[in-house]
Structure 1
Amino acid sequence: MWEPDGAEGHVGKVGVLLEDGTVPGPVYIDAGSGAYVPRFTDWWYYDGVNRRPLADRMRAVCACGWVGEGTYPLDWKRVPDREPHRYDTSGPEGDWQRHTREIAAAAVPLPEDVARLISRIRERLDAIEDTDPLTALRIVGALDAVVETDGPYATRIATRRHTDEEIAAALGATEKALAARLRRYDPRRY
């Protein structure tokens, strides 16, 4: 899975297509004991072994439901045994990165002075967290206090004026990630 930067909740991964262009369902692997049979959707399970579907192509998919238009051939002879993560998935990953950049670009921009302040705080934390962790925790605590004080108010005002879909787009987040964030800011509301 690929974790986004600036597009909260837009987690990406490699999806697969069968030779006929269909998207296969999950792969179930019976461990032989108990009623629970685990299911998997990682691309390397679609290798055609033990009656599993055989993927022909890969593409990017995102937790938000977005699916990359580009498809890339999947050469199973080049997928390293027991190390499928070493196979080149840069094509789908690049498509997903473009998707998350578009999401982040469509988000409401931070005011420049605030962006600079946040950047300076991050730099300062990076510089001291290993050598002075107590001061780093004190800084993080001060930031938490700001969120604790202003988060509920900002949440109430924003949710009165905008739909969850509008707020999610403005923050560059999925609606699921937005709900978790707003619940953290104002637990009484959610």
Structure 2
Amino acid sequence: MGERETWTTEEFGSSHEGAVGVLLADGSVPASVFFGMSSGVGGESVSQWSVYDGASAHGPRAAALRAVCSCGWNGPERRLDWGVIGERKLVEAAGGTADTCMEDWDAHTAEVEDSAIPLPEAVTALLAQLQEEVEKLAKTSPLAAVRAARRLEVTAGQVGYWPAHHARRDTTVEQAAAALGLNEDAARKLMARFGGWSPYR
């Protein structure tokens, strides 16, 4: 896959990395477009949706855009009307369609969050209060806020150690990934980080 703009959330990271995908008229996904260097040596493969405008130096003409996610989810097709687009640059003419794709992906990640194991309201409220207090502290004493953030890191490591070990004993990687809203590799690495073991053993 070539270079393109992607989106992630802080909690789910690369497990749910989104982007605007392209479909051709036959329903297929086009290959990346290679842009060579002016020197003739090297270049870059690009799969950004806006290069698929059918121009000679770009990729084939896109028939539709849709949100895609690294988890395998695909959003609804958003058809492009080339009669309306005309001679305008695709990046300008279909910018609104691309924004709609991002909204589709936002809805997808909201569903992922809803399907993850729920946190008690008391814990959610405490976490929100902690964030608010540290942000407030940062306005008057940035170094104190940094120390508070460091203390939170230490606390997270302490409170996550035994739960990670118990979860490893009682659940499969597949179950942990589903509960955390992550792919299996990310769930394995997260559990290993909190539990203090190698993710490769």
Q: TM-score range by the shorter chain?
A: 0.7 to 0.9
Report the CA distance shift for 1:106/1:51 in structure 2 as closer, same or farther (over 3 A): closer
| Match among 187, 190, 201 for residue 178 of structure 1 | 187
Give the TM-score normalised by structure 1: 0.85
Q: Which residue of 2 aligns with 1:72?
A: 78
Q: Which residue of 1 aligns with 2:143?
A: 134
Give the TM-score normalised by structure 2: 0.81
Letter in 2 for 1:150: V
Q: Which residue of 2 aligns with 1:188?
A: 197
> How big is each residue's C-alpha offset from its partner over 1:42-67, in whole Å with a ceiling of 9 and x where there is no partner?
11121222252211100010011111
Q: Which residue of 2 aligns with 1:87?
A: 95
**Deviation (angstroms), 1:118:** 0.2
**Deviation (angstroms), 1:180:** 3.9
- RMSD (Å), alpha carbons: 2.7
Q: Which residue of 2 aligns with 1:40?
A: 46
| Match among 96, 106, 114 for residue 105 of structure 2 | 96
* Whole-angstrom CA distance in 1 between matches of 2:135 and 2:12: 22
Q: Which residue of 1 aligns with 2:33?
A: 27
Report the CA distance shift for 1:137/1:78 in structure 2 as closer, same or farther (over 3 A): farther
Structure 1: give runs of 5+ residues left out of the alignment: none
Q: Which residue of 1 aligns with 2:59?
A: 52
Q: Greater relative contact order: 1 or 2 (C-alpha under 8 angstroms, separation 6 or more)? A: 1
Report the CA distance shift for 1:125/1:83 in structure 2 as closer, same or farther (over 3 A): farther
Structure 2: give runs of 5+ residues left out of the alignment: 1-5
**Deviation (angstroms), 1:176:** 3.7
Structure 1 residue 112 corresponds to structure 2 residue 121? yes
Q: Which residue of 2 aligns with 1:164?
A: 173
> How big is each residue's C-alpha offset from its partner over 1:104-149, in whole Å with a ceiling of 9 and x where there is no partner?
1111111111111100011112222233111111211111111222
* Whole-angstrom CA distance in 1 between matches of 2:40 and 2:193: 37
Identity %: 34
The DSSP-based 3-state class of the residue aligned with 1:129 is: helix
**Deviation (angstroms), 1:36:** 4.2
Q: Which residue of 2 aligns with 1:143?
A: 152
Q: Which residue of 1 aligns with 2:70?
A: 63
